[in-house]
Amino acid sequence: MADIKGVSIPGGRPGSGAHRVVALCGPYLSGKTSLLESLLYATGAIGRRGSTRAGTTIGDTAPEARKRSMSTELNVASVDYMGDQWTFLDCPGSNEFQHDSFAALSVCDAAVVVCEPLPERAVTLAPLLKFLEDRRIPHVIFINKIDSAQVRVRDMLAALQTVSNRKLVLRQVPIRRTAANGAEETVGYVDLVSERAYRYKSSGASDLIEMPAEVLPRESEARREMLEVLSEFDDTLLEQLIEDVAPEKSLIYRDLQEEFGSDLIAPVLLGAGDRENGVRRLLKALRHDTPFVGSTARRREMLGADGTIAECFKVVHQAHAGKLSLCRVWSGTLEEGQTLGGQRVGALFHVLGQRLEKVAEARAGEIVALAKADGINAGQTLSSAGTAATPDHPPPEAPVSQLAVAARNRNDEVKLSSALHKIVEEDPSLSYEARAETRELLLRGQGEVHLKVAVDKLSGRYNVAVDTAPPRVAYRETIQVGTQQHARYKRQTGGHGQFADIKVEIKPLPRGAGFRFVDRVVGGVVPRNFIPAVEDGIVDCLKQGPLGSPVVDLEVTLFDGQYHAVDSSEMSFKMAARIAMTEGLAKCRPVLLEPILRVTVAAPSEATPRIQRLISGRRGQLLGFDARAGWQGWDEVSALIPASEIGDMIVEIRSVTQGVGTYRQEFDHLQELTGRAADRVVEEARQRAAG
């Protein structure tokens, strides 16, 4: 047992029954779900491999995932393998669902970064590798689909090294042959430590074969390169290389394990997940090299008093099970009925896709779902002492896309609010807000697909059909000249009538000054108790000016008026104020104002010129660009862009950056909008008012 400041945390060794967690991550279409299927089959967890095309896999069973043939949420599978317990976390590949991936990576012992053998796509790994490296999470790179690779592995390795700050260590070299159609194909591999050659089979473990003579030169070169990298961390190995002494294999295996566990190197393995090629070799490497929960807890600084410590990293809602809080147990034993974080723990479940297996307890290292723990949410550390926020839990990403949503049936509005709360609880990178200025309910997220999946969940899981539309821009209007306006409101309907007479001066203020009301009434021509009603009437009228938008940056001064001792009232003075403003604002040369946002786009440096052209094409004003802090080979481009141009900008940004670019925004100022663009906005406002 390891001990960290009073917390007893189990260590472990292969075959000891200890539980380890491995995350499968990588870009969209890299083949993670197929790899998970082969891992589950190879460990005996399932008797038949499913197919992503046929929709029969353990992962991606949600209707939203099946509909799009892509991962839209985290998939969890716990298995037993050779005396050890494992939980595999299959992370979504799209950057739009990145929060799920980062939350899963935070609690794993090691990660398998899956990629295709395409050097030009190496940049798509940059955000993922940056996250892993910043948190010192051990990770292996698995070059998938190696059976159909058309490039040399050394070229792929060179491309990957440009986006990795860890030394890449190739563990295998491919055995290739020329097929009948003249194309080269990978039919096996040579293990660079054991120096054994294997031939892939269409299913099952690879066959041990004699080392092909044509592979020997490349094998010798690659093995030397591997040893040279390892010798940077081991003086004994360095001396042996200098003296041309063949190192013991046990020394090499030990170095690989230690340097991998310390996140000093990133081993690179080859395979084809959909054909089981290289899958058992990957399992073997994980089994021997993946750190145990004690090491991970030390890295995460999961400290506290003796007892059970667990961390919630994900919440899901299931129709039959209700709210499930996915937790990793860092120390102690979690049992049904135990009090943790002030909450009584209900039923505990192991997870395999959508299947739940009830268990009585969960030991350190395990991932378990807690049922109906309403007060336990993602990002919380739980112990018998209470609940605390986990400092390094990934915060939600800033939204880059939004939709206006409305319940199709008005009777569903309360149900919609409840469903949105659950969806955001599952995925904090979604958010929603009722925006009073445009009277819209805005759903915000990480992209078009992200928002469409959320809308599908509303209808499919919660039976709330919604209508969606692009959000309206929160335009404003102001005045360019001042005026004086006289208004009288008089009604006689029998009994007491209504009477109010006022004179106001309207004048513009500098941009950003807002609204100011000034009382200059003398002599009691407007009684003091009616003056607040005048201001209320003015404010009401400013909610929608002559151009259809709220009016800002003006001063209104009440300087004269009349009243009637019997017929005057607060309501009559309020109505007089509305008349004065309606007639007066039209004389003040109203002009439309559009919101301008300060936007910072983050992208690989080679995409910077395209980003600048994109911004210019959206009426943007470029402010400059600089290197992105902490990101090698990335830039940040700053600009001022009208809010009306920002709606689908993330689609273009991702298009020119292979999906990895992003941006953040904040309101900067209001700017006059004239010409046809202004005419179009005014006409749309009139149509809405008429409709």
pLDDT tier for residue 54 given thresholds of 50, 70 and 90? low
Mean pLDDT of all residues in 2-10: 35
Do 570 and 639 fall within a single domain? no
pLDDT at residue 31, rounded to an integer: 92
For 589-650, the three-class secondary structure string (H helix, E strand, C coil) is CEEEEEEEEEEEEEEEHHHHHHHHHHHHCCCCEEEEEEECCCCCCEEEEEEEEEHHHCCCHH
Domain end, chosen from 533, 554, 588, is at: 588
Instruction: Please write the tens of the pLDDT for every residue from 323-350.
Output: 999 999 999 999 988 888 888 888 999 9
Do 385 and 411 fall within a single domain? no
Instruction: Please write the tens of the pLDDT for every residue from 526-536.
Output: 999 999 999 99
pLDDT tier for residue 259 given thresholds of 50, 70 and 90? very high
Instruction: Please write the tens of the pLDDT for every residue from 622-632.
Output: 999 999 999 99
Instruction: Please write the tens of the pLDDT for every residue from 477-489.
Output: 999 999 999 999 9
Find which of 223-232, 334-343, 373-382 is predicted with most confidence, using mean pLDDT. Answer: 223-232
Instruction: Please write the tens of the pLDDT for every residue from 440-456.
Output: 999 999 999 999 999 99
Instruction: Please write the tens of the pLDDT for every residue from 631-652.
Output: 999 999 999 999 999 999 999 9
pLDDT at residue 303, rounded to an integer: 64
Dihedral of alpha carbons 471, 423, 429, 57, sign: negative
Cβ(638)–Cβ(596) below 8 Å: no
CATH code of the domain in which 411 resides:
3.30.70.870
pLDDT at residue 11, rounded to an integer: 54
Instruction: Please write the tens of the pLDDT for every residue from 357-373.
Output: 999 999 999 999 999 88
* Residue 232 clears pLDDT 50, i.e. is over it: yes
Separation of alpha carbons 253 and 248, rounded Å: 9
Do 462 and 571 fall within a single domain? no
> In total, how many domains does the chain have?
5
pLDDT tier for residue 217 given thresholds of 50, 70 and 90? very high
| CA dist 471 → 433, 437, 452, 560, 669 (Å) | 12, 12, 15, 43, 19
Mean pLDDT of all residues in 256-283: 96
pLDDT tier for residue 266 given thresholds of 50, 70 and 90? very high
Who wins on pLDDT, 288 or 63? 288
Mean of pLDDT over the chain: 92
Domain extent at residue 367: 307-389
pLDDT tier for residue 15 given thresholds of 50, 70 and 90? low
- Asked whether residue 35 is domain-assigned, the answer is yes
- Asked whether residue 395 is domain-assigned, the answer is no
Instruction: Please write the tens of the pLDDT for every residue from 102-118.
Output: 999 999 999 999 999 99
CATH code of the domain in which 576 resides:
3.30.230.10
- Angle at Cα 111 formed by Cα 362 and Cα 17, nearest 5°? 35
Do 492 and 516 fall within a single domain? yes
pLDDT at residue 385, rounded to an integer: 78
Do 540 and 486 fall within a single domain? yes
Residue with tokens 């070799």: 281
Do 405 and 455 fall within a single domain? yes
CATH code of the domain in which 15 resides:
3.40.50.300
Residue with tokens 């007893």: 8
Do 26 and 65 fall within a single domain? yes
Nearest residue to 663 (alpha-carbon basis) of 580, 609, 602: 602
Do 642 and 616 fall within a single domain? yes
Do 234 and 115 fall within a single domain? yes
Torsion angle in degrees (nearest 10) through CA of 472, 478, 480, 482? 150
Q: Residue 433 CA to chain centroid, in angstroms?
A: 18
Do 7 and 115 fall within a single domain? yes
Mean pLDDT of all residues in 413-428: 95
* Residue 183 clears pLDDT 80, i.e. is over it: no
Do 416 and 434 fall within a single domain? yes
Instruction: Please write the tens of the pLDDT for every residue from 289-324.
Output: 999 999 999 999 886 556 799 999 999 998 777 899
Domain end, chosen from 553, 588, 623, is at: 588
* Residue 81 clears pLDDT 50, i.e. is over it: yes
pLDDT tier for residue 14 given thresholds of 50, 70 and 90? low
For 211-273, the three-class secondary structure string (H helix, E strand, C coil) is CCHHHHHHHHHHHHHHHHHHHCCCHHHHHHHHCCCCCCHHHHHHHHHHHHHCCCEEEEEECEH
Domain end, chosen from 389, 418, 441, is at: 389
- Angle at Cα 346 formed by Cα 340 and Cα 352, nearest 5°? 105
| Phi, psi torsion values for 200, nearest 5 degrees | -65, 150
pLDDT at residue 607, rounded to an integer: 97
pLDDT at residue 5, rounded to an integer: 30
* Residue 209 clears pLDDT 90, i.e. is over it: yes
CATH code of the domain in which 359 resides:
2.40.30.10
pLDDT tier for residue 13 given thresholds of 50, 70 and 90? low
* Residue 147 clears pLDDT 80, i.e. is over it: yes
Residue positions counted in the chain: 691
Separation of alpha carbons 364 and 10, rounded Å: 7
- Asked whether residue 368 is domain-assigned, the answer is yes
pLDDT at residue 192, rounded to an integer: 97
CATH code of the domain in which 607 resides:
3.30.70.240
Separation of alpha carbons 586 and 580, rounded Å: 10
- Asked whether residue 394 is domain-assigned, the answer is no
Do 171 and 191 fall within a single domain? yes
Mean pLDDT of all residues in 538-545: 96
